[in-house]
Amino acid sequence: MYGTIAAGGLARPTRIDGAHYGPVYEFENRTGDRATTVASEVHRGWSSGAFVQFGYAWSRTEDLMSLIGTSSTLIFQNNPLDGSIADRRLRRSNRDIPQSVVAAAVVPLAFSTTVSFLFRAHSGAPYAYLVGGDANADGTSGNDLAYIPRDARDISLVAPDSFAKLDAFIEQEPCLHAQRGHVMSRNSCRNASVQTLDGRLAKSVRGFEVSADIFNVPNLLDRNWGLVRETTNREGVPLLSVVGWDVVASRPIYNVALPSRNRVVPDASRWRVQLGARFRP
C-alpha cells in the first residue's frame, strides 16, 4: 500500500508534499527483457504454376513494462503493476504471441484463371483482470491487478451475496481458478486464438488481369463462421472495483463488475471483397 483508502473508496497516497504536488514519475532504462523466436518454413512449387507454403513460429516474450502510451502518465496507468513500483516482476509481455501458423496455396485453373488461399492462425493476446479504482493507493486508478479470493471469507464485498456470481466466473476462467489466494500475475490470461482464411480469384484476358480478393471466406459462407472473439484488447480488464475500506479485515471493499468474456469483434469478423484490375503489357 502506498497510502490509505477512505470509507467511501477514495485513495490518498502518502507523499512527502501532497499539498503542492501530484505524482512525479522517474523513468530509467533497465536490462532484463527477454525474447526468443524459433521459426520454420517449407514450400514447394510445380511447373504448372501451383505453389504451396507452410510456416510455423514459436516465440516467448517477457518484459517489465510494455510500451503502451506516449506520455509518462499513460505508460504508468496502462501497465498493470506486478510487484512494486520500483521493482516490477518480469512477466509475459503484452506482445507475446507464442504460436503462429501460416499456410498458402496457389492453384492455376483452366481459361487463365488462378485461385489462391491464405490461412493464418495465432495465439490470442495476453491480459489480466484488474481492479477499478486505486486499490494500492498509489494515486493511479485502473492499473492494479485483482486479488483472486479463495472463498467468500477471503474478500470484502459491498454486496456479500454477489460472491456467488464472482465465484462462478472464477471457476469458468482457468487462469483465475489457478490463482486463488493470490494477486494474479500480469498477462497470465489469454484471449481466444485467431484464425483467418482469405481467398483470391484472378483471371487474365489479353494482358488484363481482373481479380477478387475475399477476406474472411468462412464468414462469407456462414455468418456464424470466421468470428474473431476477445475479452479485451488491452493488457487488463476490470473484474472488481474499490468502493470502500474494511477496517476490521484491513482490506478494500469491492463491488463486483464482471466483464463479458469472448465477445465478437465486429469489424474483424465481417467478410469483405476487394475488386481489382491491372494491365500487364
pLDDT in tens, the chain (281 residues): 999 999 888 999 888 887 788 778 887 888 889 999 999 999 999 998 899 999 999 999 999 988 777 777 888 888 999 999 989 999 999 999 999 999 999 999 988 899 999 999 999 999 999 999 999 999 889 899 999 999 999 999 999 999 999 999 999 999 999 999 999 999 999 999 999 999 999 998 888 899 999 999 999 999 999 999 999 999 999 999 999 999 999 999 999 999 999 999 999 999 999 999 998 77
Q: What are phi and psi of 258, to 5 degrees?
A: -70, 135
CA atoms within 13 A on the CB side of 56: 3
β-pairing, 272-279 with 3-5?
Answer: unpaired
Q: Strand 208-215 to strand 194-205: parallel, antiparallel, or no bridges (unpaired)?
A: antiparallel
Strand-strand pairing, 126-132 and 236-246:
parallel
C-beta separation of 197 from 119 below 8 A: yes
Cα–Cα dist 31/35, whole Å: 12
Helix, strand, coil % in the chain, rounded to nearest 5: 15, 45, 45
Global pTM? 0.88
The structural domain count of the chain equals 1
Contact in structure between 252 and 135 (CB atoms under 8 Å): yes
* Domain limits for position 116: 3-279
Residue 41's contacts (CB-CB under 8 Å, 6 or more residues apart) are 53, 54, 55, 56
